[in-house]
Amino acid sequence: FRRVLFRSNIFGVQAVAANTAKAMHLNSTDLSNNITLQNESQLKVSVAGKYNVQFSAQFENSDTAVHNTSVWLRINGTDLAGSKGVVAIPSSHGGIHGQTIVAWNYMVSLSANDYIEFWWSNENQAITMQTYLPGTSPTNPGAASLITTMNFISA
């Protein structure tokens, strides 16, 4: 059984200019077994096989209009055909930014030393990925802007 959990714990924002593709940033490894984080975005496998790859990302919109963001998977620097999802991020309302969590998973076949990355782009610069600090009233934990999990399924 091989499982790995990575997340982005930078308290603040991951931003991207409008209509610009950017790799999602990771900076923390919670669990790891034959999968390593390199270059702050690449999840590299040491064992060939089929993997279930999952992610969740917290998006925030500071604009008063709804805007779309796109997320997709790259393998070894090449976009994975059919992997893009488009999500409408709610608008700011009553002085509170619109927020949503986006999550899905992929099944991919990888060779030893292959790597995957999550990429994203926005139609408007008002969309960011947010990390939230712990709360005090009521007391609650902080939240990472991005969490990824990879499970080895079979050879």
Q: Per residue in 79-125, pLDDT tens?
A: 999 999 999 999 999 999 999 999 999 999 999 999 999 999 999 99
pLDDT of residue 117: 96
Highest mean pLDDT among 1-5, 63-67, 129-133: 63-67
- pTM value surpassing 0.85: yes
Cα–Cα distance list, 89 to 1, 82, 115, 128, 134 (Å): 36, 21, 28, 10, 23
Q: Which residues of 71-104 are buried (b: 16+ CB within 10 A; e: fewer)?
A: bbbbbeeeebeebeeebebeebeeeebbeeebee
pLDDT of residue 10: 55
pLDDT of residue 93: 92
Please state the rounded mean pLDDT for residues 16-21. Answer: 87
pLDDT score of 2 more than 60: no
pLDDT of residue 80: 97
pLDDT of residue 16: 79
The 10s digit of each residue's pLDDT in 21-69 is: 999 988 888 877 888 899 989 999 999 999 999 999 999 999 999 999 9
Instruction: Measure the CA–CA gap between 82 and 10, rounded to whole angstroms.
Output: 30
